[in-house]
Amino acid sequence: MGAPESTGGSVRRLVSLVATTVRPTTERERERRRIAIACLPFFVLATVAGFVPLSTLVRISVAEDTVWMEGWSLDAWRTLVADSTYLWVAWNTLWFVGLATLVSVALAVAVAHALEKYDLPFQRLIVAAVSFPIALPGIVVASLMIVLLGRQGLVTNVVAVATGESAIDLASATAITGLFLGYVYSLVPRATMVLRGTYAEVNERAEEAARALGASRWETFYHVTLPEIRPGIVAAVILTFRSGLAIFGTVLILQSHRVVTLQIHQEISVGSHRPDVAAAIGIVYVAFIVAFTFVGLRFVDSDAVEI
């Protein structure tokens, strides 16, 4: 009897909450209504751009006829579980994007530290150069890698002349190296922008006190600065990891490493028309991203940081 009573109480509280929000009688209820009105456009956008497409993906993944959305079938999900190719693709996606995220955030920490702690010449130009890749589509980043690291690439030919090696053997644009550099080039600016905001909140007096007590620059950074920017680092990891999983254009051009986004592209291609499997992959992808974000956000709260 406890469960039905609890459910009934929750329903009554929900109904009461809706009623007081629609017709508030106290200042607290009026404030809640103002918040609800302010959030309404977001919920409308989330419904149109998020919940409706997701529900469509769910229906496609379990439809027997994916054209007319008729019937029910779990073949797509059985394929994902039984076919080891998808597990291989998922594993490659996770370690590759994870490694690119770690390298990108580490570089972003160094860049943000230099920008915020030192009076660099041409600082505005440096900031513009660092943030510029954010505006570049993935296809443009891939083309840049080809221009630099392809068989006719600038870097490839310079190294070939210096070492006497063949430019064909040195070309790495379409190897895993080129793809990795393309990812890092796209992700470093995102992490840097997040960390610059975090550095603005660093307690400079604590750093000065550590230096006055004889701590070196590295000791001050490790014991004072790093704990204070830890929430920003976690936020940068969440942002860059999610962005890395969503990169498509770079992978499409530099097809050196199969990732989930490319696998979805292959599933909806003419050669293997399996929109149900593509939809199932999309659902798994969204579920993983949401779970990863919520877990990561637990470490963003500055109250949990020990200084």
Q: Which domains does the chain have, with CATH numbers?
A: 1-61 (no CATH), 76-304 (1.10.3720.10)
Which residues are bridge partners to 65 per DSSP?
70
Instruction: Output the six-digit token pair for 99.
Output: 């490694």
The DSSP code for 65 is B
Fill in the DSSP letter of residue 305.
Answer: -
Q: In angstroms, rounded to a whole number, what is the distance separating the alpha carbons of residues 37 and 123?
A: 42
Distance from C-alpha of 297 to C-alpha of 304, rounded to nearest angstrom: 11
Contact between residue 145 and residue 173 where contact means Cβ atoms under 8 Å apart: yes
Q: What is the pLDDT of residue 295?
A: 84
Three-class SS state of 70: strand
CA distance 158 to 15: 71
Per-residue pLDDT tens digits for 239-287 = 999 899 888 767 767 765 455 555 666 665 555 678 888 888 889 888 8
Q: What is the pLDDT of residue 307?
A: 36
Whether the predicted pLDDT of 291 surpasses 70: yes
pLDDT band at 208 (very low <50, low <70, confident <90, very high): confident
Residue 305 has pLDDT above 90, yes or no: no
**What value does the mean pLDDT take over residues 145-151?**
87
Mapped onto helix, strand or coil, the DSSP state of residue 108 is: helix
Query: Rounded to an integer, what distance in angstroms lies between the CA atom of residue 226 and that of residue 235?
Result: 14
Which of 4-8, 11-15, 119-123, 144-148 is the least confident region? Answer: 4-8
Confidence of residue 21 (pLDDT cuts 50, 70, 90): confident
**292 neighbors 242 (Cβ within 8 angstroms):** yes
Q: What's the pLDDT at 271?
A: 53
Structure tokens, 53: 């497409």
Q: Which of 200, 25, 30 is nearest to 116 (CA)?
A: 200
Please compute the mean of the pLDDT values over residues 92-98 and round it to a whole number: 89
Least confident stretch, 12-16, 163-167, 259-263: 259-263
Rounded CA-CA distance 130/168 in Å is 30
pLDDT bucket at 300, cuts 50 / 70 / 90: low
Per-residue pLDDT of 58-74, as tens digits, reads 999 998 888 788 889 99
- Taking the C-alpha atoms of residue 72 and residue 269, their distance in angstroms, rounded to an integer, is 23
Q: If you average pLDDT over residues 207-234, what whole number do you get?
A: 88
Q: What are phi and psi of 70, to 5 degrees?
A: -120, 150
Mean pLDDT of the chain: 83
Instruction: Single out the residue of 270, 302, 266 nearest to residue 83, CA to CA.
Output: 266
* Structure confidence at residue 237 (pLDDT): 93
